[in-house]
Structure 1
């Protein structure tokens, strides 16, 4: 088995994921991971499958011919390096322009790779504004000083009224 990673985008409708899963199964593949999001009537996501090498081209052809999705093969391996660990960073506070840029800038300053980033804004009637929430799943080197990251994020938290929790 050899890993294949795909990105996909298309107008959402019932049965899209099922059609992909059936294709992978028919080619004796194993669906090992995926991440999908629905936004504004569209579906976007990543799929990681392990497929026997002799079925790679058949899977590519089947996915390229899918009538409802634009699907692209992403080169590369599907594993997190052994010298890294995954850390979750939760952020919540008053929304303001630039909050995502400030958060991601701190992560970038530490040369931290963002594996997954989910954010949303919702009404906060008790506060009279909009509440920003985000969760970042990041890869840090083993032995990385999480306290230094916490301090740097808290430094911007005072300006942003952001509560940060890092789960190890």
Structure 2
């Protein structure tokens, strides 16, 4: 008997309203499935969610069949895609990156370019804008989890990264991840 899990990725987007998470999670639970991983937030006036739902292939099919009705009821656009278990690619060391700067275009692209050029995968990322206390200056923050190849010399990478961020006037931290890493 196969022990491979079956997954469905759901992406939902629509006008924010109370009860969306309750309704989505209830449908998943009622069909014998579970949410293994998710990101949910309000962006502007809209609710956005990405959920990794785990279940038997037939229970996932039932959820897929319900999606048009669920979209209509909740006023959401929902996209689904079957996926498998994440495969571990190489030996990666998890690190956290936190960056804060005055808001300006290109911060995410600059950081992504720095890591891509070094074959470092961005595993998770969130960004936020906010007014600085007292001055109201628009600020931008980035928090990411990255997977650094095990053969990378961390001290050299940290020095290159800090120099890179200094050149862009970004206040940055690169430190080991202290939790569970996918």
Deviation at 1:75, TM superposition (A): 4.0
Question: What is the alpha-carbon distance in structure 2 between the residues aligned to residue 78 and residue 44 of structure 1?
Answer: 23
Question: What is the alpha-carbon distance in structure 2 between the residues aligned to residue 133 and residue 122 of structure 1?
Answer: 8
Q: Tell me, which stretches of 5 or more residues in structure 1 are unaligned?
A: none
Instruction: Say which is worse superposed, 33-42 or 127-136, in terms of deviation.
Output: 127-136
Specify which of 92, 95, 101 is matched with residue 93 of structure 1.
101
Q: Does 2:12 match 1:5?
A: no
Contact 1:20 1:63 in 2 (8 A): no
Contact 1:91 1:133 in 2 (8 A): yes
Q: Does 2:114 match 1:106?
A: yes
Distance 1:129 1:21, change over 3 A: closer
With structure 2 as the length reference, what TM-score do the two structures score?
Answer: 0.80
Consecutive aligned runs of 4 or more in structure 1 exceeding 4 Å deviation: 125-128
Specify which of 146, 165, 168 is matched with residue 138 of structure 1.
146
Superposition pairs of residues 19-98 of structure 1, within 5 angstroms:
19-66=23-70, 67=72, 68-79=75-86, 81=88, 83-98=91-106
TM-align CA RMSD: 2.3
Deviation at 1:126, TM superposition (A): 5.8
Deviations 1:111-161 (A, max 9, x none): 222222222232336678433211112223334333333223222222222
Contact 2:119 2:149 in 1 (8 A): no
Deviation at 1:12, TM superposition (A): 1.2
Q: Tell me, which stretches of 5 or more residues in structure 2 are unaligned?
A: 177-182
